[in-house]
């Protein structure tokens, strides 16, 4: 059976744009419930300035309060060396850095150019190598940008290649505003695969136009076996107006079950987590798979 890795991003990417403060207790409970449901890689938090992302202000408390279950990884996002040092001090053993395929989005999101962002990453890679800390890379706006529109696949592939060659063990391609289609995603992967092995590439899709699951399937058919997702479809981007949530983890797991691929995730337990965190946030479950299976339970 084909193995598919899922990187669960709800505790960080899923919650970062929530308007109502989510308590540290709730974040820790979410992370542990996800671990118990079978997720082995759960992005726990982000060591960015609270001024820019207030929801992640408790990053230190989250990392120090984790129940670290065997076989589970708890990566965190870091913007620079200062964030990296704070993350490692709090117990992080895997970090992620983020670059953009769009110059405009890079300026809006992290207040620097693409080249300047790589200059910021250089000491992170150097320190991580010395510390034995793994570094993952994110590329945002790989298909489209809220400020520039269409992003050429060659440009996204170039940024992905730079991250990989700089020392990232894996590069996640983010359709930040959810404008990708199976055709545009395949064109992107063709360009990336010319420079980065596809077993080192992950897909990170948003569902703004309802294409996220289709794009996961297209990527799977093209050879991808790593996907980022967020339980309940939580998420969005504070710097991309109109961008909706990440592809729901339960939708990805359901799809992979249908394809005969093994994610190691208990779908029923995952649905329970989606319902629980949605109630905590004062909303109904957003993902179609969760709604359908919850309705079936009640019938």
Give the CA count within 13 Å in the CB-facing half-sphere of 165: 9
For 50-61, give the DSSP string.
Answer: TTT-GGGTTHHH
Q: Which helix (H) or strand (E) holds 160?
A: helix 153-166
Question: Which residues on neighbouring strands pair with residue 96, listed in sequence order?
Answer: 77, 136
Burial category of 71 from C-beta neighbours within 10 Å (exposed 0-12, middle 13-18, buried 19 and up): exposed
The radius of gyration of the chain's CA atoms, rounded to the nearest angstrom, is 18
* Residue 150 CB partners (closer than 8 Å, separation 6+): 143, 144
Q: Which helix (H) or strand (E) holds 193?
A: helix 182-193
The catalytically annotated residue of 141, 145, 168, 237 is: 237
237 is catalytic: yes
Residues carrying an active site annotation: 237
């Amino acid at each position: 059976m084909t193995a598919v890795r899922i990187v669960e991003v709800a505790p960080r990417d899923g919650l970062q744009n929530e308007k109502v403060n989510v308590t540290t207790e709730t974040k820790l409970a979410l992370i542990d419930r996800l671990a118990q449901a079978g997720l082995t890689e759960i992005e726990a938090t982000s060591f960015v300035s609270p001024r820019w992302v207030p929801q992640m202000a408790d990053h230190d408390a989250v990392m120090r309060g984790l129940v670290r279950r065997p076989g589970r990884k708890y990566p965190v996002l870091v913007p620079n060396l200062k964030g990296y040092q704070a993350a490692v001090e709090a117990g992080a053993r895997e970090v992620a850095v983020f670059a953009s395929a769009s110059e405009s989005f890079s300026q809006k999101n992290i207040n620097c150019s693409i080249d300047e962002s790589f200059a910021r990453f250089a000491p992170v890679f150097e320190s991580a190598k010395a510390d034995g800390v793994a570094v993952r890379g994110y590329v945002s706006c790989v298909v489209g940008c809220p400020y520039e529109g269409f992003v050429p696949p060659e440009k996204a592939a170039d940024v992905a290649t730079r991250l990989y060659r700089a020392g990232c063990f894996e590069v996640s391609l983010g359709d930040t505003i959810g404008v990708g289609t199976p055709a545009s995603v395949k064109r992107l992967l063709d360009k990336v695969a010319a420079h980065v092995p596809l077993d080192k590439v992950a897909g990170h899709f948003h569902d703004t136009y309802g294409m996220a699951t289709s794009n996961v399937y297209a990527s799977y058919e093209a050879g991808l076996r790593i996907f980022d997702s967020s339980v309940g479809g939580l998420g969005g981007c504070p710097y991309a107006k109109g961008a909706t949530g990440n592809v729901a983890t339960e939708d990805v797991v359901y799809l992979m079950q249908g394809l005969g691929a093994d994610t190691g995730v208990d779908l029923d337990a995952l649905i329970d987590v989606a319902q629980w965190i949605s109630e905590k946030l004062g909303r109904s479950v957003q993902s179609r798979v969760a709604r359908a299976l919850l309705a079936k339970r009640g019938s």
